[in-house]
Each structure stands twice: as structure tokens, then as C-alpha cells.
Structure 1
Amino acid sequence: MRKILFLMIAFALSGLSSCKKVWDYIKDHPDGTADNCKIEKVAFKWFDIINNGPVINDTATIMYNPNGDPVSVLYSSGGKTTAVWNNKAFKYDSQHRLIAYLEDATPGFEYGDYWHKYVYTGTNIVVDTTFVYANGDFFSLDRPIIIPGEVEPEIRISKYTLDSYGRIIKSEGAYTGTFTYNAVGNLVLPDVTYTDKTNIKQTHKTWMFIARDYSVNAPVGQATQYNANKLPVKATDIDIFPIGYWDAGTMGDRQVRVTYICK
């Protein structure tokens, strides 16, 4: 009986030690637990549903600044699916913090459906001012411009609360929600379980921030092959980067392929 009790205690302590190591690692890698790798390209297929075809072979290319922060996501197709542009652009301050994000943008980044401006108040609050249907050169302007004769951009305000690990745990205002993480650092979602492999968003904090998902591990059912860093290189689908319509049930493998630049 004593032996069984000892083994139970040892197992419990081992679990606590393992969890502590996970949290320590997250604390020591604020840019992401896989910050030794950067996503270079994501290739995939999508179906032009508006024109009833064809299947488009597309590639998202991610560009970075000298600090290793992503500054743009551009698609080889141009990034337009149905009537929506899908390119992305990002700006940072001197503290390496995301201060602006152009979402659903044209390739020249002179228009985006959503232009986010972020202001950091204190250590755990981020205010997101979002301009809807925004015009203006994203990289040279501080905010969108008003074009004579066109409707002014709608403005939406949200407030994000961060926990001690820098993760969004609460959103109030235009975007509302709460976000809970389990003992090993994965977002608790209905019917979602996780592998022991690394979540692709852990390659940079910007991906986690815009997705509001800081999960340490990759979800079950997405990737079919991983690299030596436990990051997905082949997948049936993968969040954030693939765009356009795809029905795996009738169309089969979307053939998502990811390449990285690793240290």
C-alpha cells in the first residue's frame, strides 16, 4: 500500500513539475515557444466558388523586419477570394509591440477592410481602435484617410485584458469573449483536443495575438507531417494563412505545405 501511495505521489509531483516547466518556458519565450523558426511560405489550394472553379494553387509569403517581426502576408494569387481581399500587414513600436494591423488588404496595402490601431495602457490592457473599410497607405500613415465623396470609416473600439503570460484572456467592446487555458497552456474550446506537437502560431506572438489563441500545442486533425522542431509542414488545413473556399469532404486534401526559416 505504501509503495502504491508513493508512486501516486511521485506521479502527481512529476505532473506538477512538467506543468511548471511549460509555464517557465512560455515566460522565457514571450515571442512564442517556437521563436527559433519563422514561417516563410504556406502553399495550399482553394476553389473559386463564385465562378464555379477553377481550383487555385496559391502561396502565402510572409515578410519580416530586421527584428524578426512579420510585416506582411501576400498571396501569389493577389489575395482576392470572392469579393474579399485577404492580404495582411503589421507595424510595431520601438518596444517590439504590435501597434497596427491591416486586415483583408489589397496587395499594395492602400486599402483594408479592417485597420486596427493598438494602444497599450499599463501592463495588461490593450485598446483596439478598428477602422472599417479603411483607405490610405498603411506603412506611411498613422491612421486611414477620408476620401472625398466616400463614406467615412466606421470606428469600433475593443479592450483586451492580458494575463501574466501576455495572453488575451478577455475581450470587451466590439469584439467580446473570454479565453481560458488548460494546465499545459492550450486554449479550451468545445470538441478540440491537442497533440504533443507545436502550434504554428507559436512561431511569433503576432500570430497568437491576431488569432486570440496562444495554444502551445497543435490541434488534433490538422497536420499530417511535422519537421524536427515539431512544427507542421504538411496539413489538411491550417488556421490563419489559407484563404478561400475548400470542402475536404468532397474535394479531398487541400495540400497545405509550410516552409520555415529556422535557426
Structure 2
Amino acid sequence: MRVRISTIALTLVILYTAGCKKAYDYIEKNPTGTCDACKITQFVTYSGSFKTARDVSYDKKGNIISIVAQTDNVPNYDYYFRYDNKNRIAERIAVYHGSLGGAILWDSYRYFKDKIVDTLYTYSGNYHDPAPPVNNYIGKTYEELKLDAQGRIIEATFVPGFGNPNQTVSYKYDFNANLLRDPKSLYDNKINAYRTNNMWQLTLRDYSANNPIDIPGIDQQTYPQIVSYNTYGLPTKYRTNRYAPNSLYTFGFIYDSLEVKYDCDLSKINY
């Protein structure tokens, strides 16, 4: 029995290792590819004495449809997502947790050959509505997102309107398919958690293959420290110094530490 258990364990290790290697090789060669073996099911943030768990829900096609907090800590936001008939994200709506659905932010995405137009409505509309409040021009701004041949965002032009000048930000990638950042960073050799779903890549504008880490010897921590990874090489815990002047975060949450929980299944690797 002991020999049989050891054999099964060894087989699982080989399968997991092979799965990780295949997933990483695919991501390395496909700049917008995703690691279908794992999907994020929950975030748990710790900020001071506050702990907040957020559940991530999916539809049958694997699209993220909501990120909902379990507690009423202020300010907690819930996010809801809608998709077009090509499974591209069409709308992202943020509301206060526990509210009646009044939208804080409402992104509406339209797709063209080499760009995406993101129309942002601020404090307008209700996520129960079938469409954004298109006639509200007061809290309405635009961004044009230019895409490269691989479908990555390489330039974002913000159009504030009301006679204000446009603002443009460029995104460049190195030969390892990692974003060139400011402040500068190094990268680990693991799969970037954003690669588990293309929603993260688009909304967070980061298609990096790996995870950014601080350059050794810098005075202030900028990028979150990755404390642990799962078997697939995906980060499961981050720690940061939110009092550092240049501190950055993952997934748009502000935290002292962040736990990421996954549902992983080798049979779901799809490429």
C-alpha cells in the first residue's frame, strides 16, 4: 500500500510539473494567452485590523462576472462584468458593497480593429440597468486604447473633454514579454497572476508573463513582496508596505497583505 501511495504521489508531481511547464511555455509564446489550469476564486485582504474576503464568480464560459465582498467594511466595492457575443469584456461596473446598485464607476468597452474605446461614466447609472447612461455627459470621459499585433494595450490616450488636453501613456514590453515599468523592476520566473484571465490583463493593462519584484538594494519597497506560490507557480500571498511613498499593489486593492485563492485543474488547460 505504501509503495502504491508513493507511486500515485510521484505521478501527481510529474503531472503538475508538466502542467506548469506547458502553461508557462504557452504564456511565454502567446503574449495575451491565459493559464486555464487555475482560476482565482477569492481574494482576502488585510489592512491594519480589517480583514476583507472577496468572492470571484464565473459564468459557464469562464468569464469573471462579479467580485463581491463578504463584509461591509468601508469603503468596500463590488464589481460586476458583462461580455459581448465574442466573450470580450463589454462593461465593468463598480458599486459600494451593500448599496442598491448605484454605479460609482461604469466602464463601457467598444472594440475596433487595432484599438478599444473605453467610455467611463462616474457616479451615474445603476448596475441593474441593461446599459450605461449614455446621455449623461457631466461624468463621462473617454480613453482610446491602442493595441499591438498581439492584442496588448501599448498606448492609452485619456480624453477628459471640456477643453482639457489629452493625456497619453505608453506601455512597452521587453523580449521576455514583461512590461517595462517605472519605477524599474525585475521579474521572477513564475506565471503572472493576471494571466489567469484576460479580464485582469485588459482592465489592469498588464500582459506580463511574470511577476514584478523590487530590484535588490533599493531603499523603499515599491512592488509587493510575493511570500508564497502554489504548485502551478502562481502567487498565493503578497505583502506590501502601504506607507512607502511609491508602494504599488496588485489587483487594484490596497492592503498590508493579500491572499489569493485558486481553483486549479489540469484538465482545464486549454490551448
TM-score band, normalised by shorter chain: 0.7 to 0.9
172, 185, 204: which is aligned to 1:180? 172
CA separation of 1:186 and 1:228: change in aligned 2, threshold 3 A:
same
Name which of 187, 193, 200 aligns with 2:186.
193
> Which residue, out of 133, 140, 144, partners 1:144?
133
CA shift digits 1:82-125 (9 cap, x unpaired): xxx42211110110101111135444572222111111122x21
Q: CA deviation at 1:44?
A: 2.0
Aligned to 1:203: 196
Identity, % of aligned positions: 24
Aligned to 1:64: 58
Match of 1:224 among 227, 231, 253: 227
Does structure 2 retain, via aligned residues, the 8 Å contact 1:73–1:87?
yes
Following the alignment from structure 2 to structure 1, what is the Cα–Cα distance between the partners of residues 239 and 91? 31
Q: How far off its partner does 1:126 sit? A: 0.6
Question: Which residue number corresponds to residue 162 of structure 2?
Answer: none
Matched, 1:133 2:123: yes
* Residue 156 (structure 2) aligns with: 171
Give, as a single letter, the amino acid of the residue that structure 1 aligns with 2:119. T
How far 1:46 sits from its partner (Å)? 1.5
Measure, in 2, the Cα distance between the counterparts of 1:230 and 1:60.
22
78 and 145 in structure 1: CA distance in 2 versus 1, 3 angstrom threshold: farther
Q: Per-residue CA shift, 1:192-241, capped at 9, x if unaligned? A: 11100111111101011111111110112521110111001122145115
Q: CA RMSD in A?
A: 2.4
Match of 2:110 in 1: 119
Q: Using the alignment, how far apart are the partners of 1:187 and 1:56 within structure 2?
A: 32
Q: Which amino acid aligns with 1:97?
A: R
Instruction: Compute the displacement of 1:78 (Å).
Output: 3.0
Check the 8 A contact 1:116/1:129 in 2, yes or no.
yes
Counterpart position of 1:26: 30
Asked if 2 retains the 8 angstrom alpha-carbon contact of 1:60 and 1:241, the reply is: no
Q: Amino acid of the residue matched to residue 89 of structure 1?
A: Y
Does structure 2 retain, via aligned residues, the 8 Å contact 1:127–1:159? yes
Local SS of the residue matching 1:208:
helix
Return the offset for 1:262: 1.2
Residue 233, structure 1, aligned to residue 246, structure 2: no
Three-state SS of the structure 1 residue aligned to 2:107 is strand
Query: Could you give the per-residue CA deviations for residues 101-154 of structure 1, whole angstroms, max 9, x where no partner exists?
Result: 1135444572222111111122x2111111111221x254211388xxxx9751
Instruction: State whether residues 191 and 209 of structure 2, in contact with CA within 8 Å, keep that contact through their aligned partners in structure 1.
Output: yes
Which residue number in structure 1 is paired with residue 10 of structure 2? none
Q: 2:145 aligns with which of 156, 160, 163?
A: 160
Indicate if the aligned counterparts of 1:168 and 1:179 stay in contact, CA closer than 8 A.
yes
Change (3 A) 1:109 1:197: farther
* Cα gap change, 1:23 to 1:207, in 2 (>3 Å): closer
| 3-state SS in 2 of match to 1:80 | coil
2:146/2:156 contact within 8 Å kept: yes
* TM-score with structure 1 setting the length: 0.74
| Corresponding residue SS for 1:61 | strand
In 1, the alpha carbon distance for the partners of 2:112 and 2:122 equals 23
Q: Secondary structure at the match of 2:123?
A: strand
Q: 1:121 to 1:88 in 2, by over 3 A?
A: same
Match of 1:38 in 2: 39
Separation in structure 2 between the aligned mates of residue 176 and residue 35 of structure 1, nearest angstrom: 33
Which structure 1 segments of 5+ residues have no match? 1-20, 48-54, 247-253
* Amino acid aligned to 2:117: V
How many residues were matched structurally? 215
The whole-number CA distance in structure 1 between the counterparts of 2:98 and 2:175 is: 41
Residues 139 and 200 of structure 1: CA distance in aligned 2, closer, same or farther (over 3 Å): farther
Q: Which amino acid in the other structure matches residue 163 of structure 1?
A: D
Q: Give the Å deviation of 1:256.
A: 2.2
